[in-house]
């Protein structure tokens, strides 16, 4: 018969699960990942596979060490971490970059903090930042797209040696990302508007046919995935919207004030994986705040930091740093921004009782 | 304003569980055959246990009071059919702990003979207080599952300015259709009950709120309310927990009940439709609460439907009347799936607050192993009270009850919306129940402690006062010749002390 004392109400559930949440995020990443794989060919695919399987393998290893049930790996979080790392790496990076990154992200970024739900920083961004600091050369060697089947695309065997034997990419393909290029140009005393007028074609950036990491390039496909997630109510609009809006507003102000030194709104919004960061990385539930207001603040902070780091910081790539920085502020923001409780004022005091005059007055709502 | 225009609910959060209502809502309420034995637990209401006033061997009639309420906040129990008291003993009663409670066991004689109710005349001629007392004597409690004595609410209401009597027919719990069916079949009685309550409270109007997924009930109630100007029927959006008093008040009046206050403070008094029906029966016919409509449903029930069950009927009897079980149920629940409690067995009796008996099949019961919280904030979005369930749970788990309170535990209505959506399957409500229970225990202990301290202080004060009185007396004797001394002081201290003592009792 029924085990009455085992658990209490409710005896109903949506049927949602952590695995389902994580897999839906992965699913949302499929379009831009496929496009990236097509653009960058076999080496990208090898790197992607190595990184994802390294992440899952690391998770299994950690669970074994920590004597946790092995099936926790099925929650899909390790796969997602690996996936996110893979699509933010230069697509032709050697295999060990992906493997080390995945190991770092899962073992140090997540399990060391106590496993899923306990980590303060986004594991994927932590791994990417660690890689950037440790292996700056490999992490900044970008290649121009060489779609599968095109002339410049390396053959299967060539690709194997690119990924697994660190064979150098053909010279014709090496290049900088739009952001990197701008940064260099600015240090050479060229004006931003000139540089961009020559090199930056915004619709190309939007469609994604440019140098960059695998998932960063096609903003349209990233948006497609993001819409899916919002429709499934897995991410909410607050963080991405406030992040992008803040970035847009600041870049607009500075562009109007001084277009020689500052790039415009479209450039900022379409470069360097801002969209991927805004929709897939800053919205990571574990490391972002809870309430609506807190989310808005968090997003605005990310957007502002991206702008600051891009323009005045040392690295052209700013999304990872800003998200990590705001991650560290998450507990603080959470503490001071709580939702208003029913029957209480925003500060937590009970609502004042109604005077009898008010009591008699009709409140019309329809 | 905007929400009103868009017809969005005023209530925040909430969830939309699958209804599972069609099958039981389609059939008429079924009158059950008399069971051989009735088991009447002495605790079927919030407050103190009732005290038996019959002995083993006594003959009782249907509607005869067999246990009286020892205090204001309690309710009497009546024999739900005629027969003989065969036992007053501990039985397994509906309680999550499976603890036993005392019950009066009646062997029915098959005649089902009513006691002379002795009620005649128009209730509208009576004083409100007389009517409220009649409701108290009828043993009526909140039939929506709250089991708070209805008369206490009425009496509290008479002391405030009540604008709206809110009749709660929203029935937002999945599976349950007892209120739906009752409104369809007894619409006139319910409207009459609402008018009587309005009369008792001298309220301006009565609003009957029904979720918009019950069009038949809305139509029936509208038709019944038509002749009376002050009774309105309002359709409210279907969502869970629309039937919670606080949420329903917010939906209907646009006002929130201040934290820690009663709904009377916003000029509203809420009663469930079942309660209103019972009140009407008591005031018009003098019939105490001896039966109720119970929904018998769930995947493991062959023919889900609503039954009219005598209070005290074993649950098994109800299930049998609905075609029995099709296999072993994964869970037996008393009430709805969202807020009901697990039943230890099918031998427990039906109680006044039993809205439903659910035998859930395996696929209807959520899996029970939880995984760590991923801070997805689904629970925050779902909470109709605007709380942070994940923080409350984390603190309750660590026995940090003050911390849990700070994050909203004291405002939690245990509606279960948060646990319903949690992707990690964390038993959030279980943590909250645990924390609330612990805190209640602590508070009771602290009160006891205070009371003891107060008593000893009072005692000390009395001793000192006596001493002082003696001393004063001596002094008075000495100074008797000069002038009268104020020897009344000790008496005064006593007088000041005693009321505060009474209050803390
Ligand atoms: S719904 Fe569950 S997993 Fe999500 S934040 Fe709440 S408690 Fe955590
Ligand atoms: S059970 Fe409490 S915390 Fe959970 S949704 Fe209901 S009111 Fe909110």
Given this model, what pLDDT does residue A161 score?
A: 77
Q: Do A8 and B96 touch (CB under 8 A)?
A: yes
Compute how many other C-beta atoms are within 10 angstroms of the C-beta atom of residue B447: 12
Given this model, what pLDDT does residue A271 score?
A: 74
Question: Which of B284-294 are b and which e, b meaning 16 or more Cβ less than 10 Å from the residue's Cβ?
Answer: eebbbbbbbbb
Q: Which residues of B touch A113 (CB under 8 A)?
A: none
B24-60 residue pLDDT tens: 888 888 888 888 889 998 888 887 888 888 888 888 8
> Whose CA is closest to B64, among B150, B135, B138, B132?
B138
Average pLDDT rounded to a whole number, residues B421-433: 91
A165-204 residue pLDDT tens: 776 666 666 666 667 666 666 666 666 666 666 566 666 6
A199-228 residue pLDDT tens: 666 666 666 666 777 777 678 888 999 999
Q: Does B410 touch chain A (CB under 8 A)?
A: no
Ligand 1 and B378: CB distance under 6 A: yes
Given this model, what pLDDT does residue A146 score?
A: 77
Share of chain B above pLDDT 90, in %: 27
Closest Cα to atom 3, ligand 1: which residue? B373
CA-nearest residue to B364 within chain A is A12
Size of interface A-B (CB pairs under 8 A): 190
Given this model, what pLDDT does residue A274 score?
A: 87
What's the whole-number average pLDDT of chain A? 83
Q: Do A353 and B333 touch (CB under 8 A)?
A: no
Name the token pair of A331.
Answer: 């507990």
Given this model, what pLDDT does residue A52 score?
A: 95
Q: Do B163 and A117 touch (CB under 8 A)?
A: no
Average pLDDT rounded to a whole number, residues A72-76: 87
Q: Do B423 and A17 touch (CB under 8 A)?
A: yes
Closest Cα to atom 1, ligand 1: which residue? B422
Q: Cα–Cα distance between B461 and A90 in angstroms, integer?
A: 84
The DSSP 8-state label assigned to residue B171 in this structure reads: -
Segment of A22-31, A110-119, A162-171 carrying the highest mean pLDDT: A22-31
Residue labelled with tokens 């090199």: A199
Q: Which residue has the higher pLDDT, A89 or A355?
A: A89
Q: Do A10 and B4 touch (CB under 8 A)?
A: no
B115-162 residue pLDDT tens: 887 776 788 888 888 888 899 988 899 888 778 888 888 888 777 788
Ligand 2 and B385: CB distance under 6 A: yes
Q: What atom of ligand 2 comes closest to residue B389's alpha carbon? A: 3
On the question of pLDDT at A53 being above 80, the answer is: yes
On the question of pLDDT at B3 being above 70, the answer is: no
A291/chain B closest Cα distance in angstroms: 8
List B307's β-bridge partners, or say none: B30, B294
Given this model, what pLDDT does residue A170 score?
A: 66
Q: Does B250 touch chain A (CB under 8 A)?
A: yes
Q: Is the dihedral of CA B452, B454, B458, B464 positive or negative?
A: positive
Given this model, what pLDDT does residue B405 score?
A: 87
Residue labelled with tokens 């995020």: A25
Q: What atom of ligand 2 comes closest to residue B416's alpha carbon? A: 1
Average pLDDT rounded to a whole number, residues A253-262: 81
> Whose CA is closest to A91, among A47, A135, A33, A156?
A47
Provide the pairing of β-strand B291-297 with B205-211.
unpaired
Instruction: Indicate the pLDDT class of residue B2, thresholds 50, 70 and 90.
Output: very low
Share of chain A above pLDDT 90, in %: 34
Least confident segment among A97-101, B372-376, B473-477: B473-477
On the question of pLDDT at B191 being above 90, the answer is: yes
Given this model, what pLDDT does residue B456 score?
A: 81
Least confident segment among A8-17, A177-186, B296-305, B464-473: A177-186
Q: Cα–Cα distance between B462 and B464 in angstroms, integer?
A: 5
Instruction: Indicate the pLDDT class of residue B471, thresholds 50, 70 and 90.
Output: confident
Distances (CA, A) of A223 to A91, A125, A218, A230, A270: 21, 20, 9, 10, 11
Q: Does B439 touch chain A (CB under 8 A)?
A: no
Ligand 2 and B413: CB distance under 6 A: yes
Given this model, what pLDDT does residue B495 score?
A: 39
Least confident segment among A148-157, A293-302, B64-73: A148-157
Given this model, what pLDDT does residue A350 score?
A: 85
Does an H or E element contain B404, and which?
A: helix B401-406
What's the whole-number average pLDDT of chain B? 84
Q: Which residue has the higher pLDDT, A341 or B5?
A: A341
Q: Does B369 touch chain A (CB under 8 A)?
A: no
Helices B187-201 and B178-185: angle between axes, nearest 10 degrees: 90
On the question of pLDDT at A308 being above 50, the answer is: yes
Average pLDDT rounded to a whole number, residues B415-428: 92
On the question of pLDDT at A47 being above 80, the answer is: yes
On the question of pLDDT at B357 being above 80, the answer is: yes
Share of chain B above pLDDT 70, in %: 91
Cα atoms in the Cβ-side hemisphere of radius 13 Å centred on A235: 29
Segment of A64-73, A320-329, B223-232, B346-355 carrying the highest mean pLDDT: A320-329
Given this model, what pLDDT does residue B98 score?
A: 55
Name the token pair of B156.
Answer: 């509290």
Given this model, what pLDDT does residue A190 score?
A: 66
Q: Cα–Cα distance between A364 and A359 in angstroms, integer?
A: 13
> Whose CA is closest to B272, among B140, B152, B390, B368?
B140
Ligand 1 and B453: CB distance under 6 A: no
Given this model, what pLDDT does residue A195 score?
A: 62
Given this model, what pLDDT does residue A245 score?
A: 94
Total-model pTM: 0.84
Q: Which residue has the higher pLDDT, B104 or A181?
A: B104
**SS3 labels along chain A:** CCCCCCCCCCCCCCCCCHHHHHHHHHHHHHHHHHHHHHHHHHHHHHHHHHHHHHHHHHHHHHHHHCCCCHHHHHHCHHHHHHHHHHHHCCCCCCHHHHHHHHHHHHHHCCHHHCCCCCCCCCHHHHHHHHHHHHCHHHHCCEECCCCCCCCCCCCHHHHHHHHHCCCCCCCCCEECCHHHHHHHHHHCCCCHHHHHHHHCCHHHHHHCCCCCCCCCCCHHHHHHHHHHHHHCCCCCCHHHHHHHHHHHHHHHHHHHHCCCCCCCHHHHHHCCCHHHHHHHHCCCHHHCCCCHHHHHHHHHHHHHHHHHHHHHCCCCCCHHHHHHHHHHHHHHHHHHCCCCCCCECCCCCECCCCCHHHHHCCCCCC
Given this model, what pLDDT does residue A267 score?
A: 78
> Whose CA is closest to A326, among A304, A351, A354?
A304
Name the token pair of B382.
Answer: 């779902």
User: Is B268 in contact with B44 (CB distance < 8 Å)?
Assistant: no
On the question of pLDDT at B483 being above 90, the answer is: no
Closest Cα to atom 2, ligand 1: which residue? B422
Of A9, A11, A343, the CB nearest to B256: A343
């Amino acid at each position: 018969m029924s085990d009455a004392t085992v658990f209490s109400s409710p005896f109903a559930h949506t049927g949602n699960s952590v695995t389902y949440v994580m897999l839906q995020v992965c699913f949302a990443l499929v379009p831009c990942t496929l496009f990236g794989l097509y653009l960058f060919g076999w080496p990208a695919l090898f790197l992607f596979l190595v990184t994802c399987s390294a992440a899952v393998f690391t998770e299994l290893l950690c669970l074994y060490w920590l004597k946790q049930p092995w099936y926790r790996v099925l929650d899909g979080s390790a796969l997602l971490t690996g996936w996110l790392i893979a699509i933010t790496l230069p697509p032709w990076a050697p295999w060990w970059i992906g493997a080390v990154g995945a190991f770092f992200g899962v073992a140090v970024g997540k399990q060391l903090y106590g496993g899923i739900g306990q980590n303060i920083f986004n594991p994927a961004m932590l791994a990417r930042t660690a890689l950037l600091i440790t292996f700056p050369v490999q992490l900044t060697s970008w290649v121009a797209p060489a779609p599968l089947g095109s002339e410049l695309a390396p053959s299967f065997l060539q690709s194997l040696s690119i990924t697994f034997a660190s064979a150098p990419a053909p010279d014709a393909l090496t290049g900088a990302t739009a952001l990197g290029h701008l940064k260099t140009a600015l240090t050479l005393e060229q004006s931003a508007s000139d540089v961009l007028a020559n090199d930056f074609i915004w619709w190309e950036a939007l469609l994604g046919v440019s140098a960059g990491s695998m998932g960063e390039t096609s903003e349209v496909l990233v948006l497609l995935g993001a819409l899916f997630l919002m429709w499934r109510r897995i991410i909410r609009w607050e963080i991405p919207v406030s992040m992008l809006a803040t970035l847009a507003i600041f870049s607009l102000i500075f562009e109007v004030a001084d277009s020689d030194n500052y790039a415009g709104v479209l450039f900022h919004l379409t470069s360097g994986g801002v969209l991927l960061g805004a929709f897939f990385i800053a919205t990571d539930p574990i490391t972002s705040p809870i309430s609506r207001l807190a989310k808005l603040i968090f997003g605005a902070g990310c957007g502002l930091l991206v702008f600051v780091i891009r323009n005045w910081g040392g690295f052209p790539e700013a999304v990872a740093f800003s998200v990590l920085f705001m991650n560290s502020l998450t507990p603080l923001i959470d503490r001071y921004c709580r939702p208003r409780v029913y029957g209480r004022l925003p500060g937590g005091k009970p609502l004042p009782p109604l005077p009898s005059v008010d009591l008699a007055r009709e409140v019309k709502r329809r | 304003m905007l929400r009103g225009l868009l017809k969005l609910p005023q209530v925040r959060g909430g969830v939309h569980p699958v209804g599972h209502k069609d099958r039981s809502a389609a059939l008429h309420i079924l009158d059950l055959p008399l069971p051989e034995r009735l088991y009447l637990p002495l605790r079927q209401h919030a407050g103190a246990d009732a005290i038996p006033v019959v002995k083993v061997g006594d003959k009782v009639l249907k509607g005869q009071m067999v246990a009286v309420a020892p205090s204001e906040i309690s309710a009497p129990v009546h024999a739900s059919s005629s027969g003989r008291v065969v036992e007053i003993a501990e039985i397994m009663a509906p309680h999550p702990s499976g603890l036993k409670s005392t019950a009066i066991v009646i062997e029915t004689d098959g005649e089902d003979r009513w006691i002379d109710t002795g009620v005649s005349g128009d209730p509208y001629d009576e004083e409100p207080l007389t009517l409220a007392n009649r409701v108290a004597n009828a043993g009526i409690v909140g039939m929506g599952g709250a089991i708070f004595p209805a008369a206490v609410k009425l009496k509290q209401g008479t002391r405030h300015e009540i604008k709206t009597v809110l009749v709660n027919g929203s029935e937002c719990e999945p599976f349950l259709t007892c209120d739906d069916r009752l409104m369809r079949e007894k619409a006139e009685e319910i409207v009459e009950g609402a008018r009587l309550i309005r009369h008792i409270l001298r309220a301006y109007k009565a609003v009957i709120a029904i979720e918009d997924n019950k069009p038949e009930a809305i139509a029936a109630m509208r038709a019944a309310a038509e002749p009376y100007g002050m009774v309105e029927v309002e359709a409210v959006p279907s969502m869970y927990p629309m039937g919670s008093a606080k949420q329903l008040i917010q939906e209907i009046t646009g006002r929130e009940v201040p934290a820690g206050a009663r709904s009377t403070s916003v000029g509203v008094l809420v009663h469930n439709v079942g309660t209103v029906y019972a009140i009407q029966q008591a005031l018009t016919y003098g019939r105490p609460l001896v039966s109720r409509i119970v929904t018998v449903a769930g995947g493991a029930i062959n023919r889900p439907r609503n039954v009219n069950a005598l209070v005290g009927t074993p649950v098994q009897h109800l299930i049998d009347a609905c075609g029995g079980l099709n296999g072993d149920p994964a869970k037996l629940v008393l009430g709805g799936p969202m807020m009901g409690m697990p039943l230890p067995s099918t031998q427990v009796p039906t109680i006044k607050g039993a809205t439903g008996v659910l035998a859930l099949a395996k696929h209807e019961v959520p899996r029970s192993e939880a995984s760590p919280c991923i801070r997805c904030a689904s629970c925050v979005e779902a909470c109709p009270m605007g709380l942070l369930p994940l923080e409350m749970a984390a603190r309750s788990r660590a026995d940090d009850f003050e911390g849990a309170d700070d994050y909203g535990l004291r405002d939690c209505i245990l509606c279960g919306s948060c646990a319903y959506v949690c992707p990690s399957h964390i038993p959030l409500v279980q943590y909250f129940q645990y924390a609330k229970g612990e805190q209640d225990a602590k508070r009771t202990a602290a009160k006891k402690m205070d009371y003891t301290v107060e008593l000893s202080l009072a005692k000390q004060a009395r001793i000192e006062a006596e001493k002082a009185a003696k001393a004063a007396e001596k002094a008075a004797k000495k100074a008797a010749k000069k002038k009268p001394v104020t020897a009344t002081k000790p008496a005064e201290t006593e007088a000041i002390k005693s009321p505060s003592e009474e209050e803390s009792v």
